[in-house]
Every structure is written in C-alpha cells, then in structure tokens.
Structure 1
Amino acid sequence: MSVNSQIAKELIEAVGGESNISSVAHCATRLRIMVNDKEKINQEQVENIEKVKGAFYNSGQYQVIFGTGTVNKIFAEVVDQGVSESSRDEQKADVKKQGNLFQRIIRTFGDVFVPIIPVLVATGLFMGLRGLVMQETVLAFFGMAPEDISDNFLLFTEVLTDTAFVFLPALVAWSAFRVFGGSPVIGLVLGLMLVSPALPNAWAVAAGDAEPLMFFGVLPVLGYQGSVLPAFIAGLVGAKMEKWIRNKVPESLDLIVTPFLTLLIMISLALFVLGPVLHSVEEIILSATVAVLDWPLGIAGLLIGFSNQIIVITGVHHVFNMMEIGLLESLGFNPYNAIITASVAAQGGAALAVGLKTKSKKLKALALPSSLSAFLGITEPAIFGVNLRYGKPFIMGLIGGGVGGFFASIMNLQGTGMSITVIPGTLLYLNEQLFLYILVNLIAIGVAFSLTWVFGYSDLDKVKENK
C-alpha cells in the first residue's frame, strides 16, 4: 500500500468511517468532506496523520488541509477506497442549506465575487507593471524619458488596466445570474446594458463632462461604469425574474419570450429604480469605508491588521471583496491590501518561529512549509495547522498583524489591485512604494516571530497537548 493510500485509509477511519462520509471534494489546498455526524470525527487522530497540515469544521464541511498538489493525490486515493465523489458545486448546494442566515448571505457574496477576482487580480498586476515601466528611473535605464512613450503604447496599457472595471457590472451580473439560478448569458447582457455607450458615462458625468439623460423631466439616468451593488442586486432579482417567467411561459415560446421579458423588465427596473437607489447606498458604504481607513495615527491599520485573521477563521472575509472592488474603482488604488498583507505575513512569522524553535520533527515539518504558504498569501495551513492549535502563536500573529497594519496606514501604502499579498503582493507595489511595502511585511513578520519565539511557544506546549 502506498503512503497516500495509507493516509486516505487512516483519514476515512478518523472521520468516523465510510458510513459517516456523505461525499468528498477538494479545492486547491483542502480536502472537503461532507460528514453525516461531525461528533464522530476524531480531531486529534486526524491531525496526527502524516501530511495533514490542519483540519477544522466550517460551513457544513470538514476541511482537511494537505496543501497544493498533495490534496489532489489524497482525494484520488479516498475516492478509490469507495467514498462518494461530488463536485464543489454539489457540495455548495448542500452547504447552502446549513448555517444561519448571516452565514448563508456571506457565502452567497463569496460565490458571486470570488469567480471574478482573478481578472481583477490580473488588472491590478497590469497597473503595477504599468507604474513600473513608466518610472523615470526605469525609463532612464533604457535611455528613455516619459515623453518618449508613444500614445499607442499608452492606449494599449489602458486596454489592459481599464477594461475589467469599465465592464465590471457585466461581470457581476453574469456571476449573480449564475449563482442565483438564472441564465448567465442573460446576466451578462443585462450588465452590458448598464454600461452601454448609448448612456452617459458615469465617470464623465462625475467629472462634469457629460449630463445625465432626464426621463419624465425629473429622473436622471446614466451608465453604471465601475458600480458593483446595482449590478449585484439586478443579477439577483433578474435571475429570480427569469425563473418565474420561464415557469409561466409555454415551452414552445420560452426561447423567445423569457429572455425578451427578462431583459426588458430588468433593464427598466435597473435604470429607473434599483440603479439610482443602490448607487447612492454604494456611495455611502464607500464613503464610510474611506472614512475608517483615514482615521488618524494609523488606528484603522492597527485594528484591521489585528482582527483580519480572526475574520478569516469565521469564513466571512469574502464580504470585503466588494469593498476592495469599490475602492479600486473609485480611488484608483486599494489602501486595504497592505493592511491585510501585514496580517497574513504575521501569521507566517509566528508559524516560522514555532518551526525553528521546536525540536519535534513532525511539528517542524508542518510549521516551516505552513509559514512559506503564508508568505505566498495562504494562511490556512499556518493558522489551523500550527498557530491556533497552540493558541499563543496565533495571538502573537494577531499582534504582529496589528503593528504591521499600523505602519501600512502611517505610510499610506496604496496597492494597485487586490487579493494577492506578501511575496506575490509585491507586484501591486512596483513603484515608489516597493521598499515601504517590503518594510511593512518585515515589521509584521519580525514582531510576530519575536513575540512567538520569546513568549508564544515552548515544546512544553506540545507535551501538554499530547497528554
């Protein structure tokens, strides 16, 4: 029997046997097990299995962290041993039935916004690279000056950096229709209608270069370039509307009537009712967010940097995706990213201290790769596999995150994108901020590492755990 096959066998036994497993799926780093009775899970036995970097029950799933690459092999072995396989979408459908109303709402936000984050990450990287190549010192290295850059090249860079945000409502409406059971292509077209060139451009109106269209003499109508909330709610309502219409229309007319009525009703509702109201709400939320981030003396960075990884544990951190998108669209930069980076880096620093200090080969083999994972922006192995298990390293990581976040706020760091942090996040600061960004990470890591080394961990903690 191979090592991975033995691990799969031990894991099935530790979670209560095959009869206690409803289905199994996996993501990039975790094996996600739907169990019939979570009380039958032997947590200690699971954590002592080779290659397991941590395990926890969350959002209706028992999630076992193996890491990139390894999880695919363990998943295959578990399925080979007779456990029922399910897709992530099928598991999501089961999970949605579990948890309280707030948890279900947050999961829904995540389901809508997570699929569009990769293109926004790419856009942020394009912005960072553009900032790098446009620096005078970089151009001088090639014997050039800013005025030597051709207009066509600048136009090309604008295509890379602006497209995702110009058509952001289309992406959001597409994803919302997909999540809420509508036809994604109808959501895509509805979102495109919200930014149609026939409507006055929202940015041009805001700059005073264009005037809204006036309907009925009192109702201003304009495009919703960069808006998130109107497209999200329009997608939600539109998907429900499409399903209702489809149930009422004869099958022979469905292909023609359903999309026609859905688009007609929804674009009217979006432009005349939902759009004006929700855009105002969106501006209030954004103004409140900016006001908090502008608190003096680095207070916002201290509080957010300290508390962020606590929020990650609860699984509701995806709700902040919409806020970051709004910051990028409205301000052109993201002051939230550097603060979050500090909180992520600090948990890696705490896990690194545990890995270097412990004499346990198993814990060392768990903690050191987990710290590297955190430095690459993924904190779950460090948090659930090491820091939370021993308690104090996690707290020291929170303190390091708070201190790093404080300096990020004081230094007014402004990322060009979102969703990548620590080492990969340097790509969002390829301008005059790069040194300060690295400094913030080193401060967060250094504080968490030092506190964990001195106060946060002793091998006596491991001895107590094993008693």
Structure 2
Amino acid sequence: MTENRLIAQEVIEAVGGTENIQSVAHCATRLRIMVKDKEKIDEARVENIDKVKGAFFNSGQFQIIFGTGTVNKIYEEVSKLGVNEVSKSEMKEETKGQGNKFQQVIRTFGDVFVPIIPVLVATGLFMGLRGLLTQETILGLIGLTPDSINENFILYTQVLTDTAFAFLPALVAWSAFKVFGGSPVIGIVLGLMLVNPALPNAYEVAAGTADPIMMAGFIPVVGYQGTVLPAFIAGFLGAKTERMIRKRVPETLDLLLTPFLTLLILSILALFVIGPVFHSLEVVVLDATLWLLELPFGLAGLVIGGLNQLIVVTGIHHIFNFLEVQLLANTGTNPYNAIITASVAAQGGASLAVAMKTKSKKLKALAYPSTLSAMLGITEPAIFGVNLRYGKPFVFGLVGGAAGGFLASLLQLEATGMSLTVIPGALLYLNSQFIWYIVVNVVAIAVAFILTYLFGYSDKQLENA
C-alpha cells in the first residue's frame, strides 16, 4: 500500500469515517471535506498525520492543508476509497448559505483575492528593495549616485515592481470569473482590455501627463492600472453573463457565441460605464483630500489616515500620485506621505496581531508575509487576505491609521519625495524628522496591533471566514 493511500485512510478515519463524510473536494493546497457531524472530527489526530501542514473548520468545510501537488495525490486516494466527490463550485453551493450576508460577501471577496496575494507580496518585496537600492543616501554609502545606476538595471527593476499592479485588473477579473463560475481565460482577456496600451495610462492621467479619451463627448475613458473594484465588478458580471448566455445558445454555437457576446457586453460596460463611474469618483476624492489637508489641529491626518485604506479597497488610490506630484512641485515637500504611511503601517500592525494570535498554521502562513508586505508599503495582501476578511482587524487598522495620521499632522511631518512608505519611506525623512517618522509609525502599528489582539480577532472567526 502506497504512502498516500495510508494517509488518505488516516484522514478518513480521523474525520469520523466514510459514514461521516458528505462530500470531498480540493483546491490548490487544501482537501475540503463536508462532514455530517463536526464533533466526530479528531483534529489533533489530523494535525499529526504525515504531510498535513494544518487543518481547520471553515465555512461548513473541514479543510486540511497538504500543499500544492500533494493535495491532488491525496484527493485521488481518498476518492478511490469510496468517498463522494464534488467540484469546488458544487461544494460552495452547499456552504453558501452559512453565515450572515455580510460574512458571505467578505468571504467571496476573500476567495477572489487570496489567489492573487502571493504575487502582491513578492511585488511588495521588490518595491521595497528597489526603493532602498536606488535612494541617493544608500548609494552614497558605496560611493555611487542615482546617475551611476545602469539604465538596463532600472528597466529590469521596473519589470519586477510594476507588472503585477499594471495588470492587476487582469488578475482580479481572472480570479472573479473563476470564483463566480465563468471561464477564467475570458476573465483574463476582459481584465487585459481594461489596461490595454491603447488607453491612456491611469497613472499618467493621475499625474496630469495624459488626458482621458472622451467618448461621445462626455464619457472619460482611461486605463485602469492598479484598480480593484472595476475589475471585480466586471469579473462578477462577466461570469454571470457568460453563464446566462451559455444556457441560451445552442451547443453547436456555444464556442463561437458565448465568449464573443460575453466580451462584447462586458467590455462596453467596463470601459464606458463601470470605469468612468470610478474615474469620476477619483476626481471627487482628490478634491476632498486637498480640502482636508488644509484642516488645522491634526484633523487632516486624523481623517485621511483613517479613511485612506478604505480608498485602497476601491482601487482608485492611484489618483493621489497627482496630489503628491502637485504638492512637491508647489511646495517642495509632501505632507500627505507621512499620513498615508501611518495608514499603511496600521494595517500591517492589525495583520501582525492576527498572525500572532491565531493557532491556524495556514492563517499564520498568510498573515506574516502580508504583514511584511505592508511594512514595505503594499497593503493589498494584508487587507484582502487577512484584515478585511475578518472585519474587525481592518476597522482597527483604520483606527491605528487615524491615530498615526493625527500625530503626523500635528508634528507637521513632510516627506522630501513620494511613492515610498513605512520602512523604505524612512529614506524620505533622513533629516531632523527621522525620529518622529519612526514614532508615528510605531504609534499607528501599536494602536492597530493592541486593539486587534485584544478585541479584533479570535480563531472562532475561522468558521465564518
């Protein structure tokens, strides 16, 4: 008997035998088992089975982490032992009614973003390293200047750091199609349409170096690089549209008509309705932020620091590139940077609290890298993979951001540049502000960490996440 067959048998016995198993499915790393009676599961025994990297009960499923590749082999052996197989989408149908509506929405949001998180974490590391290695102060330590860096090396670092965010809508649309039952390849193409080079680049429009294309004289059309919600909405509607069309077209025409009509309908909606709505929202948010920055007594930092990561969730935060450029051009300093740095650091603090408090090996393996990514300036993994998924950590992250932003505003911290935050961002404060910059970040992290650790998370939430 093979090793994987023995493991499969142990798994079945540890969850109460075949008579306690309603169905089994798997994803990229986990064996997902629907059981009839949760009390019959011997979790300690499961945890001690060879090759098992963790196990937990979640959304009506007992999920056992085996890792990529291994889970496929274990699933095959479990299936051979007479357990009822279902697809992952069918299992989701069985569990979709579990939890309240808000929990279901958050769970679905998480299902879309969790597969994307590894590349965002990697991108965050690349960005942090590039920020450190290309700063004048760091280069000066080895007798170099920014002009000394080879242009081809700079180009290579841009490929490393810009690709995931330039094509983020394609990743989001792909995952959304997959989660909502559409064809992922159609999602990829739809997402790529949102960032087609023929469209004005979103970052260039935000910086004022490019203008939107005005369709019909009043609809502003731009690329949607770095955005989240437009691609998420397009992916959701696209998957539903594809399934609706597929039910209605003859099988002989399915291959021809279904992808054609899906892409035609959703490209029109995404480019001319969904996208422009968010573009218009960007302008409103930018004007409101400029007004807020003028508020006295630290109120600017309190409000912006508290709300910034909510704006990151919408995916329209790249508009603030223009704000930072404008501040630097007009005054030579950037007070906005310190405030948003506090909001970024706070989300990392909340994610760190979850990582340290949970006993779930799987959640720790997700939360610790997400925390590191946040400390390097990229909060998407922490927000979508951890904090927003469990609700309160995200809220307490906002509170920490407000506290840190309030202090940054009171201390009148002003960066000498832009686009760097938290650890790499310290390079923008290598003057008399450096110590206070550290203090602001520590305060933001500490407030978010303490509130989350004490009141924001318990492993009971794993059942509803």
* d(CA) in 1 for partners of 2:266, 2:12: 49
Following the alignment from structure 2 to structure 1, what is the Cα–Cα distance between the partners of residues 5 and 239? 44
User: 1:11-410, aligned counterparts within 5 Å?
Assistant: 15-24=15-24, 32-38=32-38, 41=39, 46=43, 51=48, 57-63=57-63, 79=78, 91-281=91-281, 323=313, 327=317, 330=320, 335=341, 336-346=343-353, 376-377=368-369, 410=407
- Tell me the distance in 2 between the aligned counterparts of 1:197 and 1:125: 26
User: Per the alignment, do residues 287 and 189 of structure 1 end up closer, same or farther by CA in structure 2, a change over 3 Å counting?
Assistant: farther
Letter in 1 for 2:153: F
Shift of 1:124: 1.5
Check the 8 A contact 1:416/1:429 in 2, yes or no. Answer: yes
Give 1:75 deviation, angstroms. 6.5
Cα 1:185/1:330, change in 2 over 3 Å: farther
Answer whether contact 1:127 1:161 (CA < 8 A) is retained: yes
Deviation at 1:113, TM superposition (A): 1.9
Cα pair 2:166 2:195 within 8 Å, conserved:
yes
Distance 1:17 1:99 in 2: 27
- Please name the residue that 2:383 is paired with: none
Counterpart amino acid of residue 152 in structure 2: N
Aligned residue type for 1:224? Y
Structure 1 pair 373–189 and aligned structure 2 pair: CA distance change class (3 A): closer
* Aligned mates of 2:6, 2:245 — CA distance in 1: 53
Contact kept? 1:47, 1:55, Cα under 8 Å: no
Residue 285 to residue 105, structure 1, CA distance change in 2 (3 Å): farther
1:130 shift after superposition: 0.5
Shift of 1:134: 1.0
Counterpart CA distance in 2 for 1:82 and 1:166 is 46
Once the 2 structures are TM-superposed, how far is the Cα of residue 131 of structure 1 from its aligned partner?
0.7
Deviations 1:29-63 (A, max 9, x none): 9764321234xx158x6458874999764312235
Check conservation: 2:221, 2:272, Cα contact below 8 A.
yes
Q: TM-score, normalised by structure 2?
A: 0.61
Can you give the 5+ residue segments of structure 1 that lack an aligned partner in the other structure?
305-318, 352-365, 380-396, 418-424, 453-467
Structure 1 residue identity aligned to 2:20: N
After superposing the two structures, state which structure 1 stretch, 320-329 or 129-138, moved more.
320-329
Distance 2:77 2:71 in 1: 10
1:7–1:49 Cα contact (<8 Å) kept = no
CA distance in 1, matches of 2:98, 2:146: 56
Deviation at 1:143? 2.7
Structure 1, 332-341 or 271-280: larger mean CA deviation:
332-341
SS at match of 2:22: strand
Identity of aligned residues (%): 51
- The separation in 2 between residues aligned to 1:59 and 1:292, in whole angstroms, is 41
Please give the per-residue CA displacement for 1:66-100, whole angstroms capped at 9, x wherever unaligned: 8989x979978994976556665554443335433
Letter in 2 for 1:166: A
**How far off its partner does 1:263 sit?**
2.3
SS in 1 for 2:169: helix
Aligned AA (1:125):
L
CA contact (8 A) 2:35 2:62 kept: yes
RMSD: 5.6
Equivalent pairs, count: 389
Q: Is the 8 A contact 1:190 1:267 kept in 2?
A: yes
Task: Give the letter aligned to residue 21 of structure 2.
Answer: I
CA distance 1:204–1:416, shift in 2 (3 Å): closer
What are the superposed Cα offsets for residues 252-275 of structure 1, whole Å, 9 maximum, x if unpaired?
Answer: 333333333322222222222222
- Partners of 1:329 and 1:339 in 2: CA distance: 21
Residue 146 of structure 1 aligns with an amino acid whose one-letter code is P
Measure, in 2, the Cα distance between the counterparts of 1:198 and 1:61: 45
Distance 2:214 2:399 in 1: 51
- 1:202-228 CA-partner distances (Å, limit 9, x unpaired): 333333333333333333333323322
Cα drift, residue 19 of structure 1: 1.5
CA distance in 1 between partners of 2:291 and 2:5 (Å):
54
1:145 partner amino acid = T
Return closer, same or farther for 1:130/1:5 CA change in 2, 3 Å cut-off.
same
Q: Deviations over 1:188-209 (max 9, x none)?
A: 2222222223233333333333
Distance 1:121 1:329, change over 3 A: farther
Deviations 1:147-180 (A, max 9, x none): 2123333233222222222222222222222222
| Shift, 1:10, TM fit | 8.5
**In structure 2, what is the equivalent of residue 393 of structure 1?**
none
Q: What displacement does 1:106 show?
A: 1.9
Give the C-alpha shift of residue 127 in structure 1.
0.9
Paired residues of 1:343 and 1:405 also in contact (CA < 8 A):
no
Closer, same or farther in 2 for the Cα pair 1:324/1:138, shift >3 Å? farther
Q: What residue ranges of structure 2 are gaps of 5+ in the alignment?
A: 325-336, 372-392, 455-465
Deviation at 1:250, TM superposition (A): 3.2
Structure 1 position 233, deviation (Å): 1.6
SS in 2 for 1:217: coil
Distance change (3 Å), C-alpha of 1:207 and 1:328: closer
* Structure 1 match to 2:462: none
Which shows bigger deviation, 286-295 or 46-55? Answer: 286-295
CA 1:199–1:104 in structure 2 vs 1: closer, same or farther (change >3 Å)? same
SS of residue paired to 2:173 = helix
Q: CA 1:430/1:14 → structure 2, altered by over 3 Å: closer, same or farther?
A: farther
Q: Is the 8 A contact 1:182 1:239 kept in 2?
A: yes
Distance 1:349 1:213, change over 3 A: closer
Contact 2:292–2:304 at 8 Å: present in 1 too? no
Aligned residue type for 2:268:
S
Quick one: structure 1 residues 415 and 148, their matched pair in 2 at CA, closer, same or farther if it must change by over 3 Å?
closer
Distance 1:189 1:51 in 2: 43
Mark the CA change 1:36 to 1:189 in structure 2 (over 3 Å): closer, same or farther: same
Distance 1:147 1:67 in 2: 48
Distance 1:279 1:442 in 2: 30
Show CA shifts across 1:312-347 (max 9, x none): xxxxxxx98961855478559874442233234446
